[in-house]
Structure 1
Amino acid sequence: MHDLLNVSLRSLAVYLFMFAGIRIFGKNQLSQLNAGDIVLLLLISNAVQNAMVGSNTSLEGGLMAALVLFGANFVVKKIIFKNPKIKSMIESDPVVLIKDGVVDNVAMKKEDIDFDELEEAVREHGVEKIEDVKLAVLEVDGNISVISMDKKSSGTNYSRHKRKYPRKSHRF
């Protein structure tokens, strides 16, 4: 039993470390993973596996580590949902990158987004020029949402890059 408690505590420590690391390195790193990012994630998972289970390579140790990770993630999500102050500490706020066709270079530099990346996101949303963007926002999940100006009417068109895997609905 002592060995499984050790696995639990080590897994929780690794989870918190990884959570902090992802928060420090920024949300724009999460939205689009390239080959190097995937390799890094695989290597990190392999590196921290031993830190979580230590010498316990049993089925029970692996299941306990997974259970603790699921549990920690569940608790963190509940805390974020119920406490806006903690949510703002853990998840950064959305950042406006373009407003009425004008690029906010200060925000882009702060979020480590280059102009080519911004132009690519705008084109992905079917907008030809940045001047035609009413609003572009770097969302909490790392995606860039774009609202384009509608030339035919005074309204705006909203377009958002669709995720490959849609979020789960929160039905109770």
Structure 2
Amino acid sequence: MEELWTIIYRTIIVYFFLLVVLRMMGKREIGQLSVLDFVISIMIAELAVVSIEDIHVSYTKAFTPIIVLSLLQIVLAVWSLKSDRMRHILDGKPTFLIKDGKIDEKAMKQQRYNFDDLLMQIRQKDIKDVSDVEFAILEPSGELSVFEKKEEAEEVPYPLPFIIDGHIQWDKLKMAGKDELWLRRELHKTGIDHVRMVSYCALREDGVLYIDEKSD
């Protein structure tokens, strides 16, 4: 019974100790594990289990390796912040699996990434087909960043109404690449001096400006 209480007591101590250590190592260790982070986390977890199970090991001997690992991780993290080369060595580089809409089979082979993995990750991004992907980047953390192809510019929906009931439709005028001065000049050519005299004015697909004046 005494041994059971000792294990419970040590579990509580180790829990709070690890909580402090993980806080010192930073939130990145929890939310975005690189390969190095993952290895150190596993080692710390194993050491923590040993320190709980072996009640004959003192806290000093049990916690020293964990402290060393956490300090090592902090030093390497600071170093990687100041050095791009060190960051690439520790975390690795992002890998383009799809670039400009084309799948890079060589990169997939190097990363041990098969097509089933690729398609599954793309579906999880709510993208139906790989043909809709412009870029797919395998991040150092193992997450796949996916960017959809940009939609082609939409065709101008002719006819474009420039004036409706005496009011200029500015968005349609901008869509056609025209300005107010051009519109007033076109109206003046037909003998119309004021916009409010126009009931409906629209640019047709053939480039002709259709104008309907208000009736008295």
TM-score (ref. length: structure 1): 0.56
Report what 1:135 is aligned to. Answer: 135
Report what 1:74 is aligned to. Answer: 74
Q: C-alpha offsets along residues 133-160 of structure 1, whole Å, 9 cap, x if unaligned?
A: 0100001211110001143658xxxxxx
Q: C-alpha offsets along residues 26-55 of structure 1, whole Å, 9 cap, x if unaligned?
A: xxxx7xxxxxxxxxx59x9548977xxxxx
Report what 2:171 is aligned to. Answer: none
The alignment covers a number of residue pairs equal to 114
Q: C-alpha offsets along residues 76-134 of structure 1, whole Å, 9 cap, x if unaligned?
A: 10111111222222221111001232110000000000000000111111111101001
Q: Aligned Cα RMSD in Å?
A: 3.2
Give the letter aligned to residue 86 of structure 2.
I
| Counterpart check, 1:115 vs 2:132 | no
CA shift in 2, pair 1:153/1:145, >3 Å:
farther
Runs of 4+ deviating beyond 4 Å: 47-50
| Counterpart check, 1:124 vs 2:108 | no
Match of 1:98, SS? strand
Give the letter aligned to residue 83 of structure 1.
S
Give the letter aligned to residue 127 of structure 1.
I
What aligned pairs does 1:135-154 form with structure 2 within 5 A after superposition? Answer: 135-151=135-151, 153=153
* Cα pair 2:48 2:62 within 8 Å, conserved: no
Q: 2: CA distance between counterparts of 1:62 and 1:79? A: 27
Give the letter aligned to residue 138 of structure 1.
L
Give the letter aligned to residue 144 of structure 2.
I
Q: 2: CA distance between counterparts of 1:92 and 1:139? A: 9
Give 5+ residue unaligned stretches, structure 2: 1-34, 51-55, 155-216
CA shift in 2, pair 1:73/1:153, >3 Å:
farther
Match of 1:87, SS? helix
Match of 1:57, SS? coil
Name the % identity. 25
Give the letter aligned to residue 68 of structure 1.
V
Q: 2: CA distance between counterparts of 1:88 and 1:99? A: 21
